[in-house]
Amino acid sequence: MSELQTIKELREKVALSCRMIGNRGVTRGSFGHVSARIPGTDKILIKAKGPDEEALEFAAERDIILIDIQGNTLEAPPGLEAPQETDMHLAVFRARPEVMSVIHSHPDWVVALTACEKPLLPIYAAYNPPGMRLVLEGIPIYPRSVTVVNEELGKDFMRYMGDKKVCFLRGHGMTTAGQSVEEATSISLNAFELARLNYMAYSIGNPKPVPEEDLREYQSRWQKGTRRGDRQESSTGEPSDWRYNKKLLEKAGL
Ligand SMILES: [Zn+2]
């Protein structure tokens, strides 16, 4: 496949991911961005901001601009530019060569939980095992609430995010990293649901983690890697949650 074709397909995926997380309420308005590394290059596609910016749920291919890993804009239509927090995306891409997509969003549940210093607990297992797995793997919290707008802050942020799939930012939102746009989108949606359910449980009383025995059972299933629900290639080559969210977009006319 030519680089142009790769860029075209990846640009469509990044725009789709923006619409998915906007449509599901993971972020609001134009706050947040999805980015993807073009395989084998130091080029990155990222959802743009600027006077002509769109909210994430309405993002189209025009909104996804091309930059390099130094942060220089390579291609962008008039009225659009790299977002202020591009440095956060670049910090993740530079530190972790395996990461192919980064998503930054502003989920309301995360802002409320981090403001009250309520730790995320594995309050469910069977309800959504991939979400429970995120909390077991650890979700660090970046303690500052400033936008990450330069290399120094990007490095500071990475001291907390490290090699994790998701990092919360106190009074701000969350950042996720995956080996594909589909994976980073899935992690964002699962972390959002985890925060939403933790918030609900804390609002009723004192949530308790599910029994240790159940967590161990899931850990043993993951080690075997043979259970239903483990990510498997579908006949279309698309993960089922990605196809589901595409259908939700169609249903919503997005
Ligand atoms: Zn932000």
Q: Show pLDDT as tens, one digit a residue, over the chain (254 residues).
A: 788 999 999 999 999 999 999 999 999 999 999 999 999 999 999 999 999 999 999 999 999 999 999 999 999 999 999 999 999 999 999 999 999 999 999 999 999 999 999 999 999 999 999 999 999 999 999 999 999 999 999 999 999 999 999 999 999 999 999 999 999 999 999 999 999 999 999 999 999 999 999 999 999 999 887 555 455 567 888 999 999 999 999 999 99
Q: Active site includes 85?
A: yes
Catalytic residue among 54, 85, 182, 183: 85
Structure confidence at residue 96 (pLDDT): 98
- What's the 56 CA to ligand 1 centre distance in angstroms? 13
Helix (H) or strand (E) holding 82: none
**Are 187 and 181 spatial neighbours (Cβ–Cβ below 8 Å)?**
no
Q: Which among 176, 248, 238 is positioned nearest to 25, based on CA atoms?
A: 248
**Are 93 and 99 spatial neighbours (Cβ–Cβ below 8 Å)?**
yes
- Rg over CA atoms, the chain: 18
**Are 96 and 177 spatial neighbours (Cβ–Cβ below 8 Å)?**
yes
Q: How far is CA 121 from CA 138, 150, 197, 206, 218, in A?
A: 10, 32, 10, 11, 16
d(CA 224, CA 230): 10
- What's the 112 CA to ligand 1 centre distance in angstroms? 15
Phi, psi of 69 (to 5 degrees): -70, -10
Query: For residue 244, how many other CB atoms are within 10 A of its CB?
Result: 13
d(CA 134, CA 192): 11
